[in-house]
A and B are shown apart, each in its own frame.
Chain A
């Protein structure tokens, strides 16, 4: 089935460092979503992207919708300990029968060392 390939799988960084992660697909997406899951909680939407080339920021987070519409990137600047969690990319895939389904990447697990 349709898959989103997310990388890296995990990152262990020092506080203050910048972080980059990405998500790729073999097919085109019209929307890219980035979620964060903190330990013991459900995923929470960080940024939604709706247009190829779009660059959107949310505080220290910046996400981009790739020009090819087959990829997206999330950057976190000046990381802090509370950035710890799993970051998921997601996008809607339309199946035959006309219904949409949100497809998720496997996640990037981020650990921040103070």
Chain B
């Protein structure tokens, strides 16, 4: 089954404790992206990747890092999480260059205390 998977689905952590949210897709998509979703703000792009070893900032990259060492994986790293990073995070992938239909993972709900 074609899908985007994310882990963990739920995470509670404390300020400053590094964490990684994994994302994997099995559709051989070149484009992958991370979004955060906050009430009233819709989906805001954090980082995206056009291909292996090619990543770039989205609209709200501060406090986040990403890597793309393999085509299928695109982890999101929070080196020192802060409470304002409490949000719902989605990973997405696309067969194109970012402007085409994107397929979303199930989401990761993060609470930073």
Binding site for B on A (CB under 8 A): 1, 6, 9, 31, 33, 35, 40-45, 48, 88, 92-94, 99-102, 104-107
Contacts and interface: CB of A to CB of B under 8 A. Distances in A.
Nearest to A4: B42
Contact of B101 (A48, A104, A106): A48
Given A40-B107, A42-B104, A104 B42 contact: yes
A31 B101 CA distance: 10
Which of B50, B99, B105: most chain A CB closer than 10 A? B99
Nearest to A105: B42
Interface class of chain A by DSSP: strand
A106 B106 CA distance: 18
Contacts of A42: 4, 90, 92, 104-107
B85 to A, nearest CB: 19
A100 B104 contact: no
A44 B104 contact: yes
Interface string B88-109: 0010101011111111111100
A35 B50 CA distance: 22
A31 B99 contact: yes
A99 B42 contact: no
Given A42-B105, A43-B90, A104 B43 contact: yes
Contact of A107 (B42, B99, B102): B42
B105 A92 contact: no
B59 interface: yes
Nearest to A104: B43
Interface in B18-49: 40-43, 45, 48
Nearest to B106: A42
